[in-house]
A and B are shown apart, each in its own frame.
Chain A
Amino acid sequence: MAARETPEVSAGSMADIAFLLLIFFLVTTTMDVDSGIVRKLPPPLPPDMPKPPEVIKRNVYQVLINSSDKLLINKKPGSLADLRRDVKEFLTPHFPDNPNFPETKVEDIDFIGTYNKSKGIVSMQNDRGTSYSTYIYVQNELAAAVRELRDELAKQYFGMDFKTLLETDKDKAKAIQKAIPMAISEAEPANFGGNQ
């Protein structure tokens, strides 16, 4: 019996080991994927910056949030519930020219052709005492308004919503983005609601 074979290793405890690891990962797992609203901050201002050009009043949709989470839209009290609808209406290009809505500009865009682009800008400003949840709510509504407009345009021209378009054809999605830019600007915060 010179060439004795090595005895087989028992695999019976494999299940136990696997179970142990499984339970460890089960316990440590957090399933939530981090997600959130993506925004870009403006770069820091150089001290010798020239004054920015005046923006025509009718092109700006001003949203102010005060320290008790109330809205002031174009100097009139506004409601949180109607915000999305109103912003959407404001950013929809109105042609022929309508003095109650922002100016439009004819632009040549690939895949779309000539398009009457709205010059409207949404400007939001908040107070130091505004609650974060209201701020996010407003940010979300503004983003949703732009997203809905993009969806409509994408449906009209390419027959699918913007998200699907972004996954299938990046160039066409870029054309949509060009036609309806994310025209949301954030003003430097003010302190118009008392001290916090």
Chain B
Amino acid sequence: MGKFRKDGKKGLPPISTASLPDIIFMLLFFFMVATVMREVTLVVSVKSPEASEVQKLEDKSLVSFVYIGKPTKALKAKWGESDRIQLNDAFAEVEEIQSYIYEKVEKIAEYKRKKHIVSMKVDEEAKMGLVTDVKQELRKANALKINYSTRKIVAK
């Protein structure tokens, strides 16, 4: 009958932490895969409008970004309150868009160049005037596929 020996002195055995690294690694890999690194620092503030009919941007290497919005708070004093264009990391003028697009397209492998797409990240309070100018420049640069960046809302 010694099988059911009651041993009051013994406490709970310590929980093994040997599998802890495995769990952490699992989480780590999840975040590594899900992470999108931010490439540029924004100098304009952009709050995208909402839309329901959206498509995802598939391949990041085929996308060039054009940002339009008001300068961020810290830069307002120097750059004023009106809408501005940002290419790469700095403010730009409308005339610079063509060379920017050519430069970006050059980096894409030749057989994929047709799939090049320009993502326009425009602040919802921006006026269409500047956006239109940018679109005309994109036409001249033959970058005809564009994507108006929006936040997704569920369709009514």
Contacts and interface: CB of A to CB of B under 8 A. Distances in A.
Given A36-B54, A36-B57, A39-B146, A129 B125 contact: no
Contacts of A136: 49, 51, 124, 148, 150
Contact of B52 (A28, A30, A132, A140): A140
Nearest to A140: B51
Given A25-B28, A26-B31, A129-B127, A35 B55 contact: yes
A160 to B, nearest CB: 17
B27 interface: yes
Contact of B125 (A31, A32, A42, A132): A132
Contacts, number: 148
A57 B148 CA distance: 30
Interface in A125-140: 126-133, 135-137, 139-140
Interface in B19-72: 20-21, 24-25, 27-28, 31-32, 34-38, 48-49, 51-57, 60, 63
A18 interface: yes
A100 interface: no
Nearest to B38: A30
A196 interface: yes
B114 interface: no
Contacts of A95: none
A153 to B, nearest CB: 17
Interface of B: 17, 20-21, 24-25, 27-28, 31-32, 34-38, 48-49, 51-57, 60, 63, 117, 119-120, 122-129, 131-132, 135, 138-140, 142-150, 152, 155
A11 interface: yes
A43 B144 contact: yes
Interface string A32-49: 111111111111100000
A18 B124 contact: no
A28 B126 contact: no
Nearest to A42: B139
Tell me which of A26, A42, A136, A147 has the highest count of chain B C-beta atoms within 10 A of its own C-beta: A136
Contact of B128 (A25, A128, A143, A147): A128
A165 B54 CA distance: 17
A41 B24 contact: no
B44 to A, nearest CB: 13
10 contacts: A14-B21, A25-B31, A32-B36, A34-B60, A34-B63, A38-B146, A39-B148, A41-B135, A144-B53, A189-B128
Nearest to B33: A25
Dominant secondary structure at the A interface: mixed
Nearest to B53: A143
B127 A132 contact: yes
Given A29-B34, A36-B51, 7 more contacts: A36-B54, A40-B145, A41-B143, A128-B128, A129-B127, A129-B129, A189-B129
Given A18-B21, A25-B28, A41-B138, A131 B150 contact: no
A147 B17 CA distance: 53
Interface in A103-152: 126-133, 135-137, 139-140, 143-144, 147
B132 A189 contact: yes
